[in-house]
Amino acid sequence: MKLIKYLLIITFFIVASCDKNSILISGLKGVNDSFHEQYAPDKRVAIYTIKFENYDDKIIVEGETDSKEAYVKLLDSLKILKVDIINKIRVLPDSVVGNKMFAVAKNSVINIRSEPKHSAELGTQGLLGMPLKVLDKEGDFYRIQTPDRYISWVDKGGIELMNKGEFDTWNTSEKIIFTQNFGYVYSERSSNSGIVSDITLGGILKYLSEDASFYEVKYPDGRIGFVKKSEAVIYNSWLQKLNPTKENIEAIAKKMDGFPYLWGGTSSKGMDCSGFTKMVYLMNGLIIPRDASQQVNAGKIVDKNLTFEGLEKGDLLFFGTKATENKKQRVVHVGIWLGNDKMEFIHASGNVHLSSMDATQPHYDEFNKNRYLGSRRYLGVKDIQLLDLKEVLK
């Protein structure tokens, strides 16, 4: 309805005005904002940077989007107005990428940045074997989308580009998953042999064969190596046995106790607050949104009264600045409630550690208690933002 209203208003002013292009540029901003709001309200997980310009008495439409639906509907709306445009919109991925529209992480941890340069802010990370969509290329960097839909840039050295057939083959092949915090892939069936690479918690490689002590594995780029069987398991077997209970959430979270804090980190080499919660749930078979400000919108609301009553082990606690008449709520931190008599939660701040909401405890966290915003429950909740890895297998 909002879009139709904009189109009617624009049509009226075009008829009534001599300066049609100026009126169009002004009116189309409302139409464009409507599409942006519908298809890319969060630029971290969707792309829509289309804009209109008046040049040499012509209307130029340019920019980028990863939504073909948004592109088609925008053009349909412009046809209704019966105006000629110069179309310079890129629908990603396009010819810049070619047929290599997919990739798989080939390093133990890949750094994914906010811009296509090494000096840009670290936005998130990917783990060895992580499947990725490739949307764009600039220099030696590729704009990729991770399984949690996060969009950003990675340098070419961290990924193996694939076409659809190669990507499908990788995804359907049998794999192993590394279950220790840190380790190595060896060049032979011996821990005294050379090292192919390091590997971290959650890393995945293609399974080739096994003996009593080692899995023979293959990297996305074809390298062959060997992983200790005591440090990894067959991926499908691991996944089918997963039971994301409250106790297992706590066990995985405490396994990361002491991990260093790293802004943008989501691996055992370093993690930020939401990277920590993301890794805990990933190792329990769930892909959850990347950032705390996204995680707060998933799952089921609990503890509306902010009294810490009714919370259960595994619930996510969110912290930040409360909403006012002039400002929206701002979520800047997240932790995991442990549901014990010490009112403990575990979070990444400085490093991963336990804190308490009980003023009588030596590790009482008054700072975070004073900025507590509420909690969300993921366990046992159906939500399109919470992706069950078991469903991916089907």
pLDDT at position 393: 54
The two structure tokens encoding residue 84: 């000629």
Q: For the chain, which residues score pLDDT lower than 50?
A: 1, 4, 7-18, 394
The span from the CA of 153 to the CA of 368, in Å, is: 32
| Whether the Cβ atoms of residue 163 and residue 137 lie closer than 8 Å to each other | no
Residue type, 259: F
pLDDT at position 59: 85
pLDDT at position 18: 43
| Positions marked active-site | 273, 333, 347
Q: What is the pTM for the complete model shown? A: 0.91
Q: Terminus-to-terminus CA distance in the chain, angstroms?
A: 38
